[in-house]
Structure 1
C-alpha cells in the first residue's frame, strides 16, 4: 500500500490487510472534526493505557522532526511500526504535514526485506534494524526508537555500511507524552554521546538527577521522567538509566542500562540485568542473555572490566527469547516475572 499525500483520495485507499485497515481508520480519525486522537502507551514500564492527544501538538512534533531531517514535499517515507502507538501514528502525521509519499508495510522484525529502491525516511526499532542490516543502504534517514541502541548494533551498522556512508542514522529520546521524541543523537556516520533536544524544548533535572522536560507546544505540563541523565549544556544530555530499573544490591545502587551497554560491546546477544530477591543482599544481580547457552560468551563476559566489583553478575542465565512489548521494547516486568517463577520452581 502506498499513499501519496500530495494527491490524497481516501475513497481510493486499499484496505486489504489488517494493518492497512488500521492505517485507514487512523487517517479517518485524523481528518475528522475531532481535535484529538487516541494513543496507547507501550506498557514497557507499567500497565498500558490509552489517552487523547491534540492534533495540533502532533503537527508541531512532526514539523520538528521533518525540519531537523530536511524532509520535503514528495519525499518517500516507510511506515513499518504499529499504528496503535505514537511511533506509528507520528510516521503518518509527518507524511501528512510534509506531503510525503508513504509506503506501508506490515510491521515485522524484517521490515526491509522487500525494499529494493531508495526511501528518504524511516523509523524503526533496534530489533528491526538488527534484522535489516543488508538493506539499510536503501534508507537515507533512519531514526531508531523504542529501546536503547546497543554498542553491538552500532558496530554492526558501521561494519555493514562502512565509515563514510551517505545515510544518516539517529537514536531517539522520547515517550508517548512527548509525542514520540524530543531529542536525537546521531549514531551514523558520526557517533555522538549526547542527545540534542529540539528547539523550544527546555531540559533540567530534579533532585534525583532525573530529566525534566518543558515543551509547551507538545505538552502544557512540565514532564517529570524517571530517567537519570547527565546534562552537558542547555540542550544536550546523556541518558544513564531509569530509576524504575535501579537494582539495590547490598546497599549499592546499580543502573542496569549502563551494564547492559558494556556487555553488548562484547557479545551480540540481547542482554538484560535484573535484581532478584535475595535474603542477604536484598537483590542479587543477575544477567539474562537471549539465545542458547555458550561457554564462549560466558568467558567473554568474565573478561569484562566492570567499574565496580558489585557490577559483575552473580549469575548468568540464558533463555530462548526475552519478552518484548508489541513495539519491540524489552518487557522487564514480564521478564522479571518469568525469572522469579523459575527461581521458585
Structure 2
C-alpha cells in the first residue's frame, strides 16, 4: 500500500490489513477537531502508560527530523513500525508534513522483504535491520531506534553508502531529539536538533529543554558526557549502574566492548554479593560455548574489575515489546 501525502484522499484508499486499519484510525484521529493525540509508551524503562500529546508539537518534531536529513516533498518513505507507539506515529506525521509518498509494510522482522524500489527514508529497529541487510542499500537515509545498536550490527552495516543513524529519544521527546551517524562517517557523539538545549544534573544525567516539543525540562536517568552545546555521548542509565567493591560500572559500555568480539546478545548485570555489594556477571544468549567463553576471557578490559566474575548462558534473553532487553525480568530469571 502507498499513501501519497501530496494528494491525500483517505476515502479513496483501501485499508485492508489490521495494520493498515490502525493507520486509518490514526489518520482519522489526526484530522479530527481534537488538538491532542494519544501516545503509548513502550514500557522499556518503566510501567507502560498512555498520555496525550499536542499535534502541533508532533509537527515541530517532524520538521526537525526532515530538516536534519534533508527530506523534500515527493521523497519516498517506508513505514514498518507499530503505530501504537510514537515511532510509528511520527513516521506518518513526517510524511504528512513533508508531503512524502509513504509505503506501508506490516511490521515484521523482514520489513524490506518485498521492497523492489529505492526509497529516501525509513526508520527501523536493530532486529529489523539485522534481518534486512541484503536490501539496506535501497534506502538513502535510515534511522535505527527502539534499542541500542550493537557493536556487531555496526560492523555489519559499516560498508554501506546508505546514511545510517542511531537515534536518541523517548516518548516524552516525541521520538528522537538527536542522531549519531553510524555510516558512512561514524560519529562518537549524538548531535541534537535545532532549538534544543542540553545540560546535566548533579548526577551527570542528561536534561533536555525542547520547548517546541515539551513545555517542561525533561530530566532523564541517562548518564552522558557533553562535548558542547549540541553534542553528547551516552554512557549508560543511572539505574543500571553497578556498584561493585565501591567502583561504579556502566554495563552498557562493557556490553559494547564485549559485542565487538562475540556475535551473541550479551548483557552485563550485577547480583548481590556479601563482600563486593554487587558481583559483576555476564549473561550470554545461546548455547554454552567454550569458544565464546575464551573470546570473553581474552578481551582487554580497561579496568580489572570490569572483567565479569561469572558467565551465564541463557536460551533467550527477555525483551520488551519494542525489542529492548528487559533487564529487570532477566535479573529475576537468573536469581530465582
Q: TM-score, normalised by structure 1?
A: 0.95
How far did 1:295 drift?
1.3
Report deviation, 1:319.
1.7
2:60 alignment counterpart: 60
Aligned length: 336
Are residue 91 (structure 1) and residue 91 (structure 2) matched?
yes
Alignment match, 2:312: 317
**In 2, Cα distance between equivalents of 1:47 and 1:87:** 18
RMSD, matched Cα: 1.1
Alignment map for 1:48-197 (pairs within 5 Å): 48-159=48-159, 161=160, 165=161, 167-197=162-192
> Residue 336 in 1 paired to residue 331 in 2?
yes
The alignment status of 1:260 with 2:252, answered yes or no, reads: no
Asked if the contact 2:158/2:182 (under 8 Å) is kept, the reply is no
Distance in 2, matches of 1:318 and 1:102, equals 42
CA distance in 2: counterparts of 1:13 and 1:269, whole angstroms: 43
TM-score by length of 2: 0.97
Separation in structure 2 between the aligned mates of residue 337 and residue 93 of structure 1, nearest angstrom: 39
Distance 1:286 1:106 in 2: 38
The Cα of 1:280 is off from its aligned counterpart by: 2.7
Once the two structures are TM-superposed, the CA of residue 308 in structure 1 deviates from its matched residue by 1.4
Deviations, residues 275-304 of structure 1 (Å, cap 9, x unaligned) = 122233222211111222221111111000
Structure 1, unpaired ranges of 5+: none
Partner of 2:20: 20
Query: Which residue is 1:281 aligned to?
Result: 276
Deviation (angstroms), 1:147: 1.5
Secondary structure at 2:158's aligned position in 1? helix
Distance 1:325 1:113 in 2: 24
- 1: distance between equivalents of 2:129 and 2:250? 25
SS at match of 1:326: coil
CA–CA distance in structure 1, aligned partners of residues 22 and 305 of structure 2: 48
Which moves more between the two structures, 26-35 or 307-316?
307-316
8 A Cα contact 1:170 1:187, kept in partner: yes
CA contact (8 A) 1:58 1:90 kept: yes
Q: Which runs of 5+ in 2 are unaligned?
A: none
The residue that corresponds to 1:211 in the other structure is 206
Find 2:220's aligned residue among 222, 225, 250. 225
Give secondary structure in 1 for the equivalent of 2:223. strand
Tell me if the contact between 1:13 and 1:24 (Cα under 8 Å) persists in the aligned partners.
no
1:232-247 alignment, distance < 5 Å = 232-247=227-242
